[in-house]
Amino acid sequence: MKNEQTVAWAWVLENASLIEGIVKKLSNGSVLDFEDLRSDVLVRLVEKWPNYDKKKSSPSTWIWWQTLAVRKQLLKKHRSFSSLKEDHKVQNPAAIAIVQLKEIKQMSTAEEWAAVAFMAQGFDGSKLGQLCGCAPFSARRRAARLRERYNQAT
């Protein structure tokens, strides 16, 4: 008799490209890191393997639902962390900054993010406009629009 987990891992490897595509699709546009979501999905697929019934659903359907479940758990953890950073006095400022920057980057356009990145590096005036490919006031306006959108979202 084969070890159930070995069979599960073999199935996961066989369907690796399908898993990768579904995880990519469900991680796009969210605050979740693709690598984290993928690794948690792989573990869940192996754990839940005994529950998979090939007669009831295709591999893509089952992977989709398992990925949604993992995504929901990770988003819940992310929300808990976000509320913790506001309520808890002892916290890691670098970790909070990374989460906040990731949120801001995901809601920005490429032009807005470029303007913000160059401004953060200390560029101003004509150099800022030159780097962004527009007038300096346009670059500052892009950063202001992004800040306003972020403030409305939070």
Number of folded domains that form the chain: 2
- Regarding whether 81 and 116 lie in a shared domain, the answer is no
33-48 per-position pLDDT tens digit: 888 899 999 999 999 9
**CA–CA dist 91, 15 (Å, integer):** 40
- Regarding whether 70 and 33 lie in a shared domain, the answer is yes
User: Tokens at residue 132, please?
Assistant: 């962004």
pLDDT score at 1: 39
In a domain, 92, yes or no: no
Burial of 119 from C-beta contacts in 10 A (0-12 / 13-18 / 19+): middle
- Regarding whether 75 and 117 lie in a shared domain, the answer is no
50-100 per-position pLDDT tens digit: 999 999 999 999 999 999 999 998 888 877 665 544 545 545 666 677 777
- Regarding whether 119 and 81 lie in a shared domain, the answer is no
Confidence of residue 109 (pLDDT cuts 50, 70, 90): confident
Global pTM value = 0.52
- CB of 94 within 8 A of CB of 121? no
pLDDT score at 5: 82
**CA–CA dist 143, 130 (Å, integer):** 15
pLDDT score at 25: 92
**Residues of the domain holding 127:** 107-153
pLDDT score at 106: 82
* Contacts of 60 by beta carbon, 8 Å cutoff, 6+ apart: 18, 22
Neighbours of 70 (CB within 10 A): 23
Q: Concatenated DSSP letters for 93-148?
A: HHHHHHHHHHHHHHTS-HHHHHHHHHHHTT--HHHHHHHHTS-HHHHHHHHHHHHH
pLDDT score at 127: 84
Report which listed range, 16-30, 79-93, 125-139, is most confident: 16-30
pLDDT score at 68: 93
